[in-house]
Structure 1
């Protein structure tokens, strides 16, 4: 179980690095991105491991990757300026 948690933390770190590398102009500071990726992966591993039970390392890592990517996507800012409508 410790290796599973360590593996999901590394997976979250890799996903956060990839997001920070590709989308650096749309994300906040790197420490926030890295901590969000790791925390999301650990939370996703915990939820998946709790739902499926012990002995399911690969599905737990998949759940960690999904939750980590979802939490990183919440940090994204819009690409361009927001347009105001004429009625607002």
Structure 2
């Protein structure tokens, strides 16, 4: 019967709630802009990976490395887009 209990999903859900509380704490603790953005970016990426692995079952297929490769590629494209936009709009390069 214990193999039918969704332990992995419950732990993932609790960890999601903890990450959400950490992100919400940025608002209530009135952190500086740099510290707040750092906390928000870290919690956002960890939350996205947690959702992908635990709730979308990305690691449970035979082709899991191509799924993770696509995630890494997506993150690289997102970072290039974000920093490229910052270079153009904020830093006038």
The structure whose residues are more often helix, as a share, is 2
Which structure has more RCO (C-alpha within 8 Å, separation ≥ 6)?
Answer: 1
Fold-level similarity (TM above 0.5):
no
For normalisation by structure 1, the TM-score amounts to: 0.35
**Structure with the greater alpha carbon radius of gyration:** 2
For normalisation by structure 2, the TM-score amounts to: 0.34
